[in-house]
Amino acid sequence: MRNSLGYGYMSTTDKLSNRYQKQNPLTQYPRPPFPRQPQNRPGSVNKMDPEPDHGEDSYVGFGRLKGRKALITGGDSGIGRAAAIAFAREGADVAINYLPSEEQNAQEVIKLIKAEGRIGVAIPGDIVEESFCKELVTTAVGKLGGLDILVNNAGRQTAQKSISDLTTEQFDNTFKVNVYAPFWITKEALTHMGAGASIINTASVQSFDPSSSLLDYAQTKACNVAFTKALAAQVAEKGIRVNAVAPGPFWTPLQSSGGQPQDKIEKFGGSTTLGRPGQPVECAPLYVLLASQEASYITGEVMGITGGEMPY
């Protein structure tokens, strides 16, 4: 079986065990240079070179989310896909949201969830509409039989060299996807969540060290951080925890489909301390931790995972 990440031929069993052996993190996953690979938004994991590792053949669960019900936006690819796979292997039933054009990638995830004997629910739709956000939550709750974990992960990122190139249409859509949608979804989800539930927002290193080409995106990620901290204080009395993950450069379709200029794709992640981009599976354990009871004393926190330093 060919390992798409370039490590030669390994069986699935070998790959599963290999991930948990001591390795050099500098060379554990691909390093730049990478080929230019423009895609139309929202992009597909199957068209990336090298293809990302979401844990399909490498994540092993230990039952830390047994019986939980999770909803993940942007669950067809990237970090959301990795979280969905990990949650299922940790014992959770999982509903994922995605754009209708991402159906192929979404069905790959649903197949992996069901392979673990868990309920997998695919809910396509555009979260820029408030009415759909409410419908998304009620559909997930109905098909899963409840809701214990919400991951607000879907995002829009489009690089523009100058503010003069940033249209009002793009600015508005970035805020609708990255700021409005998590507000709408969370507001509805909280009517179904009780003590012990967990909300995880995907922020970004851009929240704290914004890139000049990501003016609108960086603003929305700063909003995610403020939302996380304020909401955590508001719902603590209900026994609900709220945290955020702030990734650095991760190898996902968000980057190759306009999130970065193609000249930056060629050297993507190379300026980090580890000299490479992160693979989505490397984010998964952090989402599992924050969703699990092991994180019972963690709320209102923003946890970075950046390869050692601010990459931009």
Q: pLDDT tens-digit profile of 226-247? A: 999 999 999 999 999 999 999 9
Q: Is residue 31 part of a domain?
A: no
Q: What are phi and psi of 215, to 5 degrees?
A: -55, -50
Residue 5 within any structural domain of the chain:
no
Assigned token pair, 221: 């990620």
Residue 122 domain boundaries: 60-305
- The distance between the two most distant Cα atoms of the chain, rounded to a whole number of Å, is 52
pLDDT, position 39:
86
In a domain, 264, yes or no: yes
> Which is catalytic among the residues 59, 98, 180, 217?
217
Domain count, the chain: 1
Can you give the pLDDT at residue 17? 52
Sign of the C-alpha dihedral, residues 111, 113, 118, 120? negative
Residue 27 lies in a domain: no
Average pLDDT, consecutive stretches of 10 residues, N- to C-terminus, the chain (312 residues): 37 57 94 91 84 94 97 97 98 98 96 98 98 98 98 96 97 98 98 98 95 96 98 98 97 81 90 96 98 98 89 40
pLDDT tens per residue across span 16-33: 557 788 999 999 999 999
Residue 224 near residue 182 (C-beta atoms within 8 A):
yes
d(CA 176, CA 180): 5
Distance of alpha carbon 207 from alpha carbon 196, whole angstroms? 27
Cβ–Cβ under 8 Å, residues 78 and 250? yes
CATH number at residue 203: 3.40.50.720
Looking at residue 174, its pLDDT comes to 97
Spell out the residues 6+ positions from residue 34 whose beta carbon is closer than 8 angstroms to its own: 49, 50, 265, 266, 267, 268
- 172 domain residue, yes or no: yes
For tokens 């979260």, what's the residue? Answer: 127
Question: Does residue 128 form part of some domain?
Answer: yes
- Residue 134 is predicted with a pLDDT of 98
Q: Is 101 exposed, middle or buried (0-12, 13-18, 19+ CB in 10 A)?
A: middle
SS3 of 221-275: HHHHHHHHHHHHHHHHHHCCEEEEEEECCECCHHHHHHHCCHHHHHCCCCCCCCC
pLDDT of residue 12: 43
50 domain-assigned:
no
12 occurs within a structural domain: no
Give yes or no: 9 in active site.
no
